Amino acid sequence: MWNYSEKVYDHFHNPRNYGEMEKPDSVGEVGSMACGDALRLTLKIDKATDRIIDVKFQTFGCGSAIASSSVMTEMIKGMTLDEAAKITNSDIAKNLDGLPPEKMHCSVMGKEALEAAIANYRGIKIKKDEEEGRLVCRCFGVTEDKIIKLAKENNLKTVEDITNYTKAGGGCGACLQDIQDILDGVWNAKKPAEKPRENEAPKKLTTIQKIKLIEETIEKEIRPSLNQDGGDIELIDIDGNRVIVKLRGMCAHCPSSSFTIKSFVETRLREFVSKDLEVVEE
């Protein structure tokens, strides 16, 4: 099963601060039973100092959901609301000595309940997820805004990361491409498979971007074709717009290797990276 830390097991088996609170000053509720996890956080707050003097949680969910809730209550007890508001989901995960990647959404749920409880106390109406921008994942009700926010906060680069943190895409899978597009927007990624439109002015690439894109194009667009013929290609150097490569395997001894370089490798690199490139063999 999951490789949980000792701390997760400790908080799961001995949850701190759980149960119902009589007359709480503030309540934060997130999740639902249908989604598989839900958290109700209740706070008692000292009005003079804005300090959290008592906290209780109730959680429906798996081991790491219960542990995340429990450790979060320990973290915030005694804090002022301003201090508590600064806690991130990764702080919660860190205090548990980490969570399995697939379970990061449990720490996100803790953070969201805390946010909701603070907003509730301050009289700010938190908008429901559905109202907060476009709905991307219908299975788990995750919006574009939430995906963008978590991607930026946690430096999430792949669709799998997004699923681990938000559950989005973990149901029917219909929104996976949508999530990829959102991530591409966040990180300005160029899609290697998409050909640039003709007459479109080529974007100015930095040297690092160019090197990366050349490597990516060789990996995805060029090497697989050469491999099929028992050949391979190695990137030796990049000098301005000169790309120096070496053909390996069958290609190295192929009489038409110079043809391969010019007509295949160079054409591809010009198509995907920059039309100014020149490819030469070492």
Q: In whole angstroms, how close is the CB of 64 to another protein at the nearest point?
A: 8
CA dist., res. 247 & res. 277, Å (int): 18
Give, as one character, the DSSP assignment of residue 261: I
What is the three-class DSSP state of 31?
strand
* Pick 73 or 95: Cβ nearer another protein: 73
CB of 51 to another protein, least distance (A): 25
How would you class 3 by CB atoms within 10 Å of its CB: exposed for 0-12, middle for 13-18, buried for 19 or more?
exposed
Q: Minimal distance in Å, beta carbon 59 to another protein?
A: 6
Whichever of 35 and 79 has its CB closer to another protein, that residue is 35
Closest distance between another protein and the C-beta of residue 229, in Å? 24
Indicate if the alpha-carbon torsion angle 240, 242, 243, 246 is positive or negative. Answer: negative
- Which of 40, 96, 87 is CA-nearest to residue 68? 96
- Choosing from 106, 137, 175, 251, the catalytic residue is 106
Q: Which residues pair with 26 in a beta bridge?
A: 43
Cα–Cα distance measured from residue 77 to residue 64, given in angstroms and rounded to the nearest whole number: 20
Q: Report the interface residues with another protein, using CB under 8 A.
A: 1, 3-4, 9, 12-13, 15, 18-20, 29, 33-40, 57-63, 65-66, 139-140, 163, 167, 170-171
Residue type for 154, please?
N
Nearer to another protein, 173 or 240 (CB): 173
Q: Report the SS3 class of residue 229.
A: coil
Nearer to another protein, 6 or 200 (CB): 6
Pick 147 or 222: Cβ nearer another protein: 147
CB of 92 to another protein, least distance (A): 17
Give Cβ neighbours of residue 78 (< 8 Å, ≥ 6 apart): 51, 52, 53
In the bound state with another protein, the residue whose beta carbon lies nearer, of 4 and 272, is 4
204: nearest Cα among 157, 239, 238, 241: 241
Q: What is the DSSP string of 143-212?
A: EHHHHHHHHHHHT--SHHHHHHHH-TTSSS-TTHHHHHHHHHHHHTPPPTTSPPPTTPPPPPPPHHHHHH
Active-site annotation holds for 254: no
Q: Output the smallest distance, CB 5 to another protein, in A.
A: 9
| Catalytic (active site) residue 139 | no
Considering 35, 62, 139, 254, which one is annotated as catalytic? Answer: 35
Pair 42, 52: CB distance under 8 Å: no
Q: Show which residues are catalytic.
A: 35, 106
